[in-house]
Amino acid sequence: MEQPECSTIRISYLLKSEKMKDYGFSESEIKRMGGKVIAVIGSGTPPDNINLPYLKVPAIISSLQLIASSARNKFKGKVIGVTGSAGKSTLCDMFTTVFSSAFGRDSVLTTQKNENLQLGITTTLSRLSQKEKYAVLEIAAGHAGKCSSIARPDLALFSNISHVHASKYGSLEDIADRKSEIFKGVKQGGVAVICRDTPLFERVNKHALNEGLRVITYGHHEDSDFK
């Protein structure tokens, strides 16, 4: 499945007995985007008032993955994946601000809201076009390996780990292992940027090295590459 020729993809979907969610753009939105809009709809019946072209598919997630994969294959810029127990959104905003200042706002595509799980990652990648130079993606611990394999980052940034996810994932060791799955999808010859001050740094670093990545560290630690 090829990436549709559109500037934005809006997902519409049916979950169990729920009604169709999140469909349709206003006329002003469609006009602003030049009519290049598409909705991706699950196997349910589209509502009568849907006001844009749509693609009806039997399986929403797998279809979006195919579209996202097509977009990623065509993309000539750099993809940055960001993970950590805290500060992911702030770091993505920092990257976006720097790239926008240097190359213009249209040069960077970044995660919107909290679209940092599989569905959100595929949706964001599906919006990629050749006008962007960078894509900055926030990747959460849930299915980090799968999300990374879809995004195929050129660089993965690992900021920190803390007990904030302990109730869901268990020990800090478990959290470190889950978040380190982001390194599994990094492109060959890619880079892992890791905060040297994070707990269990050696464990996280080993995961990155096992994937054959070049590791760059930052932080207050005396052995940091950048302080």
CATH of the domain at 174: 3.40.1190.10
Q: H/E element holding 14?
A: none
- Partners of 135 in the β-ladder: 79, 109
Cβ-contact 18, 12 below 8 angstroms: no
Indicate the Cα dihedral angle 57, 145, 157, 215, nearest 10°: -140
How confident is the model at residue 221, as a pLDDT?
96
Range of lowest pLDDT (8-12, 130-134, 161-165, 190-194): 8-12
Average pLDDT over the chain reads: 81
Q: Taking the model in full, what pTM does it have?
A: 0.81
Count of domains for the chain: 2
Joined together, the tokens standing for residue 14 give 């049916």
Give the residue numbers spanning the domain of 16: 8-58
Q: Is 66 part of any domain?
A: no
Q: Is 226 part of any domain?
A: no
Chain segment 1-22, per-residue pLDDT in tens: 555 544 444 444 443 333 444 4
d(CA 156, CA 147): 12
Same domain, 112 and 169: yes
CA 153 to the chain's CA centroid: 9
Same domain, 40 and 124: no
Chain segment 139-163, per-residue pLDDT in tens: 987 789 999 999 999 999 999 998 7
d(CA 181, CA 144): 6
d(CA 114, CA 18): 22
Same domain, 99 and 29: no
Q: Is 34 part of any domain?
A: yes
